Amino acid sequence: MRGRRLRNMLLIPLVLLAVLAVVGAGVMAVLALYGIQDERADAIMRTCEDQNHRHDRTTATLDRLLLERVLRRRVAPGAPAAEVTYRLLAELKRAPSPLRMRLVVSRASTQLLIDALAPRQDCEARVQRFVGGR
């Protein structure tokens, strides 16, 4: 009788300890999964923003080349991309009609190629689609 009572007294804390260990392991697994999801979301956001930056930089380089090499207009080093594009559009209005048409078609087709190879993306929507939010 006494041995059974002693065994029960030891068995109950051991069972409780085992239950706590299983629950603790489950909590740790859930926390690890959330950490992995956050890292994945950050990686997707970073690569998306990098691609958008490359897209914008490539478009700005295209506009700069058209201004400098075709239209023979000087562009200040480090000029913002929006300023270069605005200036290109202004210069195209003044260009002779055959040259203007050739440049518009050339720029449009090159921009289509840039958009196909490195499209600009909505990074938040991309993270939502692949990770399901943060």
DSSP character string of 48-90: HHHHHHHHHHHHHHHHHHIIIIIS-----TT--HHHHHHHHHH
Percent pLDDT > 90 in the chain is 38
pLDDT band at 16 (very low <50, low <70, confident <90, very high): confident
pLDDT at 34: 77
- Specify whether the CB–CB gap between 114 and 58 falls below 8 A: yes
pLDDT tens digits, residue range 39-88? 999 999 999 999 999 999 999 999 999 998 888 888 888 888 889 888 98
- Specify whether the CB–CB gap between 59 and 81 falls below 8 A: yes
pLDDT band at 127 (very low <50, low <70, confident <90, very high): very high
Q: Tell me the Cα Rg of the chain.
A: 31
Quote the tokens at residue 55. Answer: 């897209």
Phi/psi class of residue 120: alpha, beta or left (left: φ > 0; alpha: ψ in -120 to 50)? beta
Residue 92 has a CB neighbour count (10 Å cut-off) of 17
Distance between CA 64 and CA 74 in Å, rounded?
A: 9
Residue 110 has a CB neighbour count (10 Å cut-off) of 15
